[in-house]
Amino acid sequence: MEYLHASLILHSSGKKVTEKAIGDILTAAGLTPDKNRIKGLVAALGEVNIKEALKTAAVMPATAAAPVAAAAPAAAAPAAAPEPEEEEEEEESGLSSLFG
């Protein structure tokens, strides 16, 4: 995320998004830049009009994010279901049937 933030800082200050510039920002922030990640980001952003992308993102209504946020807890709910308790109940009923 900090790599993308560095590119947005460069864009907002009117600077060209380059590998060196992103690396310099990350270093100034106390991070050790990963040259491969920077290279990939610069390559990916080479085809993107950042100004237009920001305009499009700013136009999206706030409610558009709500379904995504609401879907996250629903997706997490099945993972939180207590599977081991069901197994214990089955074991207990199986053992009690053996001993009467």
Can you give the CATH number for the domain in which 8 is found?
A: 1.10.10.1410
Structural domain count of the chain: 1
Q: Is 39 in contact with 19 (CB distance < 8 Å)?
A: yes
Token pair 């980001």 is at which residue?
41
Residue numbers of the domain that contains 74: 2-99
Cα(17)–Cα(41) distance, integer angstroms: 10
Closest to 26 measured CA to CA, from 46, 10, 47: 10
Q: Is 5 in contact with 11 (CB distance < 8 Å)?
A: no
Cα(5)–Cα(38) distance, integer angstroms: 12
Write down the mean pLDDT value for the chain: 75
pLDDT in tens, 20-51: 999 999 999 999 999 999 999 999 998 888 88
